Structure 1
Amino acid sequence: MAKKPKPTNDYLATNKKARHDYAILDTFEAGMSLTGTEIKSVRAAKITIGDGFVTIRNGQATLMNVNIASFAEGNQFNVDPMRPRKLLLHKKEITQLAKITQDKGITIVPLKVYLKNGFAKVLIGTAKGKREFDKRNDLKKRDQNREIQRALKNR
């Protein structure tokens, strides 16, 4: 009997800018509603989520400003690369996200895109914008931790 391949944590796209610009409060895993040529492009890692955000309207979560490149062999079946994409979440999660985003300064940003059991998933997070001094403090902490790790490694 053939062994199943071990799941890996290979992300197809990550949003490094989100962790720098925002303090992530909570995360949710959501599925994406994609067409056939879009999923082929996602599997080829031709997706950028750097400028993406999530809106909630009429009880539906929508992923905006995410670019999935057109599939090379897709011809007439290709769709607009920047089109809004519906996120697949439970109703309780959508209402929870809607309540959280009512607060001033809270937004929902995509953090990572990955495949799970053959389905494209996006990790979204509720985020609060950081100020400039918060960013500097995070950089200082990261540098201090790096120095500590170097010192411990050299012992």
Structure 2
Amino acid sequence: MARPQHGTFDKVKTVAENRRARYDFFIDETFEAGIALTGTEVKSLRFGEGTIAESYAEVKNGEVFLINANVPEFSHGNRFNHEPKRPRKLLLNGREINRIYAAVMRKGMTLVPLSIYFNGRGRAKVELALAKGKKAPDKRATEKARDWKREQGRLLREKG
């Protein structure tokens, strides 16, 4: 069975979003991955705390880890509270891990988290993307195209 394409994931509550990723990278393929979390991390995420702005994912020993994602300590946690920036294991299918590993090694792509959210079943998920970095001229072209789309919308509203 084929994986759903971007936009079809069942996002009920988005906790953290990496909006800068779409500006800095060409997004090629997206994946939905579960996250191995401790209890206080889940509670902290349910309160809407957490950032993935400077985070990335990497493949080590056949496993994928989310690096540098910040899930702040739970305010009512006790001495067993979690470490905010610890590496978190991502739960993916073996074939997906192999495909990601091959793309990162051969094509020089990067594994970037786009968002952390809770799905319909209440499970914390990460939307990962295989991406290729943009150079400055590419970013200018993207900005120019976005401005032109905005201008087109204005013109259509004025005329129509």
TM-score normalised per structure 2: 0.89
Q: Which amino acid aligns with 1:99?
A: A
Instruction: Kindly provide the CA deviation profile for residues 126-153 of structure 1, in whole angstroms up to 9, marking residues without a partner as x.
Output: 1100000000000000000001111112
Alpha-carbon distance, 1:93 to partner = 0.4
Q: Which residue of 1 aligns with 2:145?
A: 141
Q: Which residue of 2 aligns with 1:131?
A: 135
Which of 95, 101, 104 is residue 101 of structure 1 equivalent to?
104
SS of the counterpart of 2:152? helix
| Residue 32 (str. 1) matches residue 35 (str. 2) | yes
Instruction: Kindly provide the CA deviation profile for residues 6-59 of structure 1, in whole angstroms up to 9, marking residues without a partner as x.
Output: x76541111011111111111000000000000001111111001111110111
Measure, in 1, the Cα distance between the counterparts of 2:41 and 2:12.
21
| Residue 91 (str. 1) matches residue 125 (str. 2) | no
Measure, in 1, the Cα distance between the counterparts of 2:115 and 2:49.
13
| Residue 19 (str. 1) matches residue 39 (str. 2) | no
| Residue 55 (str. 1) matches residue 58 (str. 2) | yes
| Residue 152 (str. 1) matches residue 149 (str. 2) | no
Measure, in 2, the Cα distance between the counterparts of 1:79 and 1:95.
30
Alpha-carbon distance, 1:63 to partner = 0.4
Give the number of equivalent residue pairs.
Answer: 149
| Structure 1 residue ranges without an equivalent (≥5) | 1-6
Measure, in 2, the Cα distance between the counterparts of 1:16 and 1:125.
13
Alpha-carbon distance, 1:105 to partner = 3.4
Moved over 3 A (4+): 7-10
Alpha-carbon distance, 1:77 to partner = 1.9
Q: Which residue of 1 aligns with 2:77?
A: 74
Q: Which amino acid aligns with 1:88?
A: L
| Structure 2 residue ranges without an equivalent (≥5) | 1-9
Which of 115, 120, 139 is residue 118 of structure 2 equivalent to?
115
Which of 38, 46, 66 is residue 43 of structure 1 equivalent to?
46
TM-score normalised per structure 1: 0.92
